[in-house]
Amino acid sequence: MIYFDNAATTIKKPRVVWSQTIKFCKKYGANAGRGQHELSQIASMSIQQTKDKLKKFLRCAHFHSVAFTPSATIAINVVLKGLDFSKIQNVYISPFEHNSVLRTLYALQEQHLFTIHQLSATEDGVFDLDKIAEQFAKDKPNLMVVSHVSNVCGTIAPIEQLCQLAKRSFAVCVIDMSQSCGLIDLPLRKVNADFFIFAGHKTLHAFYGVAGIIYRQSARLKCFIHGGTGVDSQSRRMPEELSSQIAGSSNILAIKSLDVALTYLAKKGIANIEAKERQLTKALKKILSRFDFIKIIGDNAQSISVVSATFEGMSPEGVAAFLNRHKICVRAGLHCSPLAHRHFNTLPLGTLRLSIDFFTKRSDLRRLNGALKKLQKTVTNKKKKAS
């Protein structure tokens, strides 16, 4: 199968991730922080090693800490539901937010009085910083939540500038890096955000089950999930420090896979990874642009890895089914980001999404091109019959 659904998850993990992770867990896969024996201590040390390695890889500041969660969705809930909304009146989001952000905010809006504003963007999906500055001047931001890379069109948000603007009003800034962590060559110490969300199973090439929050050590959130932490078990209250607030057993298998993947990615170099994916994105768009019945959605120079399109006379689901018969994996629909489709006027059917990654080959693109030529013939024949 040719795989163009990397925005959902990257299935082509480096071989070393599989081999070293399984080897480690067969030998040391004990419950971290739940025993004084050697195996538990080794598991705990492995988790801390992975946190330190992640901070180094992403070039975090000295005041950043890491808390692991089972998924990015849970991480977003931990952060947003942990904030004090009595001090929040204006919440700003991008037009490209995932339902993990949207539905969490909508649920919180039923309990608290705040207004959700959409950051200004052009028709092709580029953030308009001048208009955003005007928005902030009119309604000062108290909270801003932004996806670094859109999972619909691949637009890269200018998070340095956005946080700089929002911080003039002392807003809490949350950056969702689920589609960008390990892909975009940007030191996190340069971004004045309070919380960064990451997912291990996408651009970081780890297994399902590890994600988390990179946060300022001074950050304090209301506890979202209560339970055992392996720390101060006699207390009725959860620990105040965020990394100690994540209740439940750590997924040592997934965390170790991230540890190994980070070593692999560091050797490749994040700048090299981004450069290759930019080239592949450009090549993918060039192929799609050859066909007059295909329209690229959100086609702008500030995008990477994710490309959405609509097809004249065919639904996204119909095109996805056709490509599946030719052993090509894509995704059709709204991609859990309804506001993006409202922005691009692609409701209710959404788009066909193709997403590449570091392991995508030029031969994969050629196979796609061949399948689209066959689809073009099908479309042409239907038109002839209709006339």
pLDDT of residue 284: 98
Domains 2-9+270-386 and 15-268 share a fold: no
- Phi, psi dihedral angles at 101 (to 5 degrees): -85, -50
pLDDT digits over 285-316, tens only?
999 999 999 999 999 999 999 999 999 989 99
Spatial separation of the C-alpha atoms in residues 334 and 131, rounded to whole Å: 27
pLDDT of residue 54: 98
pLDDT > 90? residue 238: no
pLDDT of residue 48: 93
When computed from its CA atoms, the radius of gyration of the chain, rounded to whole angstroms, is 22
Spans of all domains in the chain: 2-9+270-386, 15-268
Does residue 122 sit in helix, strand or coil? coil
- Asked if 330 and 320 count as a contact pair (C-beta separation under 8 A), the reply is yes
Token readout for 50 is 């992975």
Q: DSSP secondary-structure letter at 201?
A: T
- Among 218, 176, 216, 222, smallest CA distance to 82 is for 222
Specify the residue for token string 């909304």.
Answer: 85
Regarding the domain delimited by 2-9+270-386, which CATH topology (the fold level of the hierarchy) does it fall under? Aspartate Aminotransferase, domain 1 (3.90.1150)
pLDDT confidence tier of residue 381, bands split at 50, 70 and 90: confident
Spatial separation of the C-alpha atoms in residues 216 and 229, rounded to whole Å: 20
pLDDT of residue 286: 98
pLDDT confidence tier of residue 383, bands split at 50, 70 and 90: confident
Burial of 98 (0-12, 13-18, 19+ CB in 10 A): buried
Q: DSSP secondary-structure letter at 157?
A: P
**Which residues are CB-neighbours of 137 under 8 A, at least 6 positions away?**
none
- Phi, psi dihedral angles at 102 (to 5 degrees): -60, -50
Span 342-369, mean pLDDT?
98
CATH 3.90.1820.10 fits 15-268, yes or no: no
- Lowest mean pLDDT across 98-107, 215-224, 290-299, 326-335: 215-224
- Output the CA–CA distances (angstroms, integers) from residue 135 to 92, 93, 149, 168, 338, in the order listed: 10, 12, 22, 13, 22
Token readout for 335 is 């991609």
Q: State which H helix or E strand residue 52 sits in.
A: helix 38-57
- Sign for the pseudo-dihedral over CA of 195, 199, 204, 208: positive
Spatial separation of the C-alpha atoms in residues 193 and 171, rounded to whole Å: 9
Share of the chain above pLDDT 90, in %: 83
Span 359-375, mean pLDDT?
97
What number of other Cβ atoms are within 10 A of residue 288's Cβ?
20
pLDDT confidence tier of residue 17, bands split at 50, 70 and 90: very high
- Output the CA–CA distances (angstroms, integers) from residue 384 to 89, 290, 293, in the order listed: 57, 21, 15
Spatial separation of the C-alpha atoms in residues 262 and 273, rounded to whole Å: 13
Beta strands in the chain (DSSP E): 2-3, 64-69, 90-93, 115-118, 143-147, 172-176, 195-199, 211-216, 294-297, 306-311, 328-329, 331-333, 351-355
Q: State which H helix or E strand residue 45 sits in.
A: helix 38-57
pLDDT confidence tier of residue 144, bands split at 50, 70 and 90: very high
pLDDT > 90? residue 220: no
Q: State which H helix or E strand residue 100 sits in.
A: helix 99-109
pLDDT confidence tier of residue 367, bands split at 50, 70 and 90: very high
pLDDT > 80? residue 231: no
- Among 199, 213, 255, smallest CA distance to 50 is for 255
Spatial separation of the C-alpha atoms in residues 352 and 328, rounded to whole Å: 12
pLDDT digits over 21-46, tens only?
999 989 888 888 777 888 888 888 99
CA max distance for the chain: 78
